[in-house]
Homo-oligomer: A and B are copies of this chain.
């Protein structure tokens, strides 16, 4: 196990009806900016529950955060904060809304040009406004971590940030809020969480029994409950375990002290940039090919994955690895997620565009060994067609 720091101060308020507890967790004298995305927050009644729970606090609302939250939109929110003397931010939505709210929380207190937060690391960030979240979509884990991604189409950039100042003070996780989500979003969330776990697990052995055991357990839970959550959308227990799994997939716990990969995410981001394919679907396309391509580096962990996650114990080592990768692909397909580039209208000719974009963004040494080159990516993508 490597040395590590683990610190996660976010308070989780989990369960049915927990939005009502906002009254105990938002400061009584707060002037609140409610930040949300599209119309579903209103239609589903979540915003109504939030307004009621804030009781007699003053609040204003800022809607329109995009699925890949835009830099310009966050600056508009910062202006609204300044114009209205806001003291507390409340994100109501999924990962995009929470990511945007974190960035807004930092930008509102930042002395210089907020763009620097994204381009020169977040180390210049010394403070952020306090924020809470009401999670409506289990997927990204943003509700219990300190990072996010902001997109700036003008600069053709989708840039991550991370700062210890932007953990949510609290996050409300009510599984019932997920009942009305489209199946596509639940499936995407399960796939996103699955790949988050794999990126922190399927590298090389590091004698990290606790982290490996937790990662394998979360993967088995997703394999079991992901498809079931689509069949019976209002099964509370299934949605509850799915929601808690997605949070723990990326709250720092399973990644503490272990090598990490993240190549699938970096490649996937460029596919989304190319033709707006859903983030989770790009991961489902890239991961099986990447695992197969990188089997030399990942050999021991692929065998461990085959045994402990899929129960595959028959056949030669290579056969077991192939079977585990096939099972991974089948899991995504069972969720209704296609796993080939061609399923998303991407042909061989466009692979070069993806590879070039990666190079332009400095992503020329990916993976847990920093040795996946652009030509490796080309080969991986060709195998994904």
Say yes or no for A5: interface residue by CB 8 A criterion.
yes
Contact B257 A15 (CB under 8 A): yes
Q: Does A119 contact B (CB under 8 A)?
A: no
Residue of B nearest to A14 (CB): B4
What is the bound-complex CA distance between A277 and B19, given in angstroms? Answer: 47
- Nearest-CB distance from A310 to chain B (Å)? 15
One of A211-219, A282-290, A341-349 contacting the partner: A211-219
Asked whether A3 and B14 contact (CB < 8 A) given A210-B244, A213-B217, A218-B210, the answer is yes
Interface segment, one of A66-74, A220-228, A291-299: A220-228
In the complex, per-residue mask of A242-274: 1 if CB is within 8 Å of any chain B CB, else 0 = 001100100001001100000000000000000
Task: Report how far A105 CA is from B257 CA in the complex, Å.
Answer: 31
Question: Given contacts A3-B18, A217-B217, is CB(A207)–CB(B241) below 8 Å?
Answer: yes
Distance A315 CA – B40 CA, assembled complex (angstroms): 53
| Nearest-neighbor residue (CB-CB) of A8 within chain B | B8
Could you tell me if A9 and B9 are in contact, using CB atoms closer than 8 angstroms?
yes
Bound form: Cα–Cα A240–B12 in Å? 28
Decide yes or no whether A11 CB sits under 8 A from chain B.
yes
CA distance A3 to B224 in the complex (A): 22
Contacts of A237 in B (CB 8 A): 1, 207
| Binary contact readout A3-28 vs B (1 if CB under 8 angstroms, 0 otherwise) | 11111111111111110000000000
Least CB distance, A61 to chain B, in whole angstroms: 27
Q: Given A216-B217, A217-B216, A256-B14: A241 and B210 within 8 A (CB)?
A: yes
**Nearest chain B CB to A365's CB is how many angstroms away?**
26
A142 to B110, CA, bound (A): 38
Known: A210-B217, A210-B218, A213-B217. A240 touches B1 (CB 8 A): yes
Q: How far is the CA of A13 from the CA of B6 in the complex (A)?
A: 7
A208, CB-defined interface residue at 8 Å: yes
Partner of A6, one of B1, B14, B224: B14
Q: Is B1 in contact with A5, judged by CB distance below 8 angstroms?
A: no
For the complex formed, measure the closest distance between the CB of A324 and the CB atoms of chain B, giving whole angstroms. Answer: 19
In the complex, 30 of the A-B residue pairs with CB atoms within 8 angstroms, ordered by the A residue number, are A1-B14, A1-B15, A1-B240, A3-B14, A3-B17, A4-B14, A4-B15, A5-B13, A5-B14, A6-B11, A6-B12, A6-B14, A7-B12, A12-B256, A14-B257, A15-B257, A207-B240, A207-B241, A209-B224, A209-B225, A210-B221, A210-B245, A213-B214, A213-B218, A213-B220, A214-B214, A216-B217, A217-B217, A244-B257, A253-B253
Given contact pairs A210-B217, A213-B217, A214-B214, enumerate 12 new A-B contacts (beta carbons under 8 Å): A1-B15, A1-B244, A2-B15, A4-B12, A4-B15, A5-B12, A5-B14, A7-B9, A207-B238, A209-B241, A209-B245, A216-B217
Residues of A in contact with B (beta carbons under 8 Å apart): 1-18, 207-210, 213-214, 216-218, 220-221, 224-225, 237-238, 240-241, 244-245, 248, 253, 256-257
